Amino acid sequence: FMKRRKTWSRYPPGPASLPFIGTMFSIDFHKPHHSFHQLQKKFGNIFSLQNCWNNVVVLNGYKTVKEALVHKSEDFADRPHFPIYEHMGYGKNSEGVVVARYGHVWKELRRFTLSTLRNFGMGKKSLEERVIEEAGFLCAEIKSEEGKSFDIHVLINNAVCNMICTIVFGDRFDYGDETFNKLSQLFQNSLNEETGFLPQFLNVVPILLRIPGVPQKAFRAQKELMDFIDVVIDKHMKTWDPAYTRDLTDVFLKEMEKGKAAEENGFHYSNLRLVAVDLFTAGSETTSTTLRWALLYMLLHPEIQSKVQAEIDKVIGRERPPTMKDQASMPYTNAVIHEVQRCGDIVPVGLPHMTYRDTELQGFFIPKGTTIIINLSSVLKDETVWEKPNEFHPEHFLDAKGQFVKPEAFLPFSAGRRACPGEQLARMELFLFFTTLLQKFTFVVPEEQPRPREDAHFALTNSPHPYLLRALPR
Ligand code: HEM
């Protein structure tokens, strides 16, 4: 591989590579975006790494990322192969959406996901009504804490996870349900299993996964999560009545009924379970973590919390539940939510892409099959775009007249062909949960508690360190 690299005269520069291990020791896999920031300063916006023999190129800053993902969208639309997921049932033509290789089956399943998320609730309750209802359950649960100090983490996870349960399996769980709490815990643990040096190493040296017991030991929570999904789907299939559509699983089953052509388009049982798990993993932790950042920033900036509440009181009042129609009349609240996403920097290094063909970027040559890391953190904190990149500053999203504006470098959902298909749903959840919570409660740091930490814990997502709060009814 050393020889191959040398023959590419315009290949991006990078740190010195050691035999076998490559540049893996140049990266802190528990905070990769911090390492990338240092390397960006040294090598520029496009630099290369070597994970053992796997070529990796990291893209930094808004201009570079936009050029790759938007202007050369197809060149950068593939995903690398992840051997560490094989034990969960991933394989050829069974890849779900998130880690699927770019191609026909991915396109079909992505289109299916987007349209099902969009048309959800035809004739029945809309998704918006379901979020409003769930926000009501969440507030009731918070109220039962009676203003005492508590950790809101599990409750937020439950509320957000319930939205995915509703979409995928047609029903929500009660917050006290034991199975539900186990499910939430499994998600958290399976995310943790994907972080750090070991999973990266196993991906590039997959032979180690053949050692009996290794995948079971390294990815126990992922395996349990998959088993859980299988049980729910099996139950679901037994109660399926083609005359009714309860949820996304039913729509998928209907597609599967269409026979061989549908199967070739990816609509078979293995993909049903993988699409289901994709929506849980991609759609719950991201949204709930954003809401936890939102409340943390409100604790740290009570004056901003008061301004949001004043806008809620003016536009919605204290009784009527917020709806999406209110958003257009609430520029300040909207700006605060966007700033939470920018400053919280929830998915700092995105998901890995791979070049679909040989390509060029800003004069550099990047060959087909190169793993591409989109450093979203470097876009959301790009010093050439944001006035105060490292501060919580809602004015980033307000013009001189106090109207909402969205700078182009706001890319928490990434961009291009692989951009997050859950953006619309996530936006709706963030707006409705956040405004309902601040309509009903004022959040404060308990007297005996120190000021909560503002730095992040990284495990694929950047999440806040645990904190306690008091929710005072308004
Ligand atoms: C992919 C962010 C919520 C489903 C992604 C990606 C990001 C992202 C950065 C990677 C895009 C890329 O590869 O360039 C977020 C954030 C969310 C959120 C910040 C919440 C605040 C959701 C929700 C769902 C969802 C609610 C669905 C229920 C997906 C899927 C993909 C994805 C299926 C893979 C797309 C593909 O590979 O074609 N998301 N997401 N996400 N997200 Fe989201």
Q: How far is the CA of 282 from the centre of ligand 1 (A)?
A: 5
Q: How far is the CA of 77 from the centre of ligand 1 (A)?
A: 14
Instruction: Say what the ipTM of the complex is.
Output: 0.99
Query: Ligand 1 test: best mutation among 85, 99, 286, 287, most atoms within 8 Å of CB?
Result: 286
Half-sphere exposure of 62 (CA within 13 A, CB side): 14
Backbone angles phi, psi at 337, to 5 degrees: -65, -40
Q: How far is the CA of 279 from the centre of ligand 1 (A)?
A: 9
Q: How far is the CA of 283 from the centre of ligand 1 (A)?
A: 7
Q: Is 80 exceeded by the pLDDT of residue 22? A: yes
Contact 101, 401 (CB under 8 A): no
Query: Ligand 1 test: best mutation among 164, 191, 337, 420, most atoms within 8 Å of CB?
Result: 420
More confident position, 58 or 29: 58
Quote the pLDDT of residue 1.
45
Q: How far is the CA of 442 from the centre of ligand 1 (A)?
A: 30
Q: Tens digit of pLDDT for each residue in 193-245? A: 776 667 667 666 677 666 777 666 667 778 888 888 888 899 888 998 888 88
Q: Is 70 exceeded by the pLDDT of residue 122? A: no
Mean local confidence (pLDDT), 466-470: 96
Can you tell me which atom of ligand 1 is nearest the CA of 96? 33
Q: Tens digit of pLDDT for each residue in 77-88? A: 999 987 777 777
Residue 61 C-alpha from the chain's centroid: 20
Q: Is 90 exceeded by the pLDDT of residue 102? A: yes
Residues with CB under 6 A from ligand 1: 97-98, 110, 113, 164, 278-279, 282-283, 286-287, 290, 346-347, 350-351, 374, 412-414, 418-422, 425-426
Instruction: Map the chain to HEC letters.
Output: CHHHHHHCCCCCCCCCCECCCECHHHCCCCCHHHHHHHHHHHHCCEEEEEECCEEEEEECCHHHHHHHHHHCCHHHCECCCCHHHHHHCCECCECCCCCCCCCHHHHHHHHHHHHHHHHCCCCCCCHHHHHHHHHHHHHHHHHCCCCCEECCHHHHHHHHHHHHHHHHHCCCCCCCCHHHHHHHHHHHHHHHHCCCHHHHHHHHCHHHHHCCCHHHHHCHHHHHHHHHHHHHHHHHHHCCCCCCCCCHHHHHHHHHCCCHHHHHCCCCHHHHHHHHHHHHHHHCHHHHHHHHHHHHHHHHCHHHHHHHHHHHHHHCCCCCCCCHHHHHHCHHHHHHHHHHHHHHCCCCCCCCEECCCCEEECCEEECCCCEEEECHHHHHCCCCCCCCCCCCCHHHHECCCCCECCCCCCCCCCCHHHCCCCHHHHHHHHHHHHHHHHHHEEEECCCCCCCCCCCEEEECEEEECCCCEEEEEC
Quote the pLDDT of residue 7.
67
Q: How far is the CA of 123 from the centre of ligand 1 (A)?
A: 27
Q: How far is the CA of 110 from the centre of ligand 1 (A)?
A: 11
Mean local confidence (pLDDT), 403-412: 97
C-alpha to C-alpha distance for 355 and 115, rounded to whole angstroms: 27
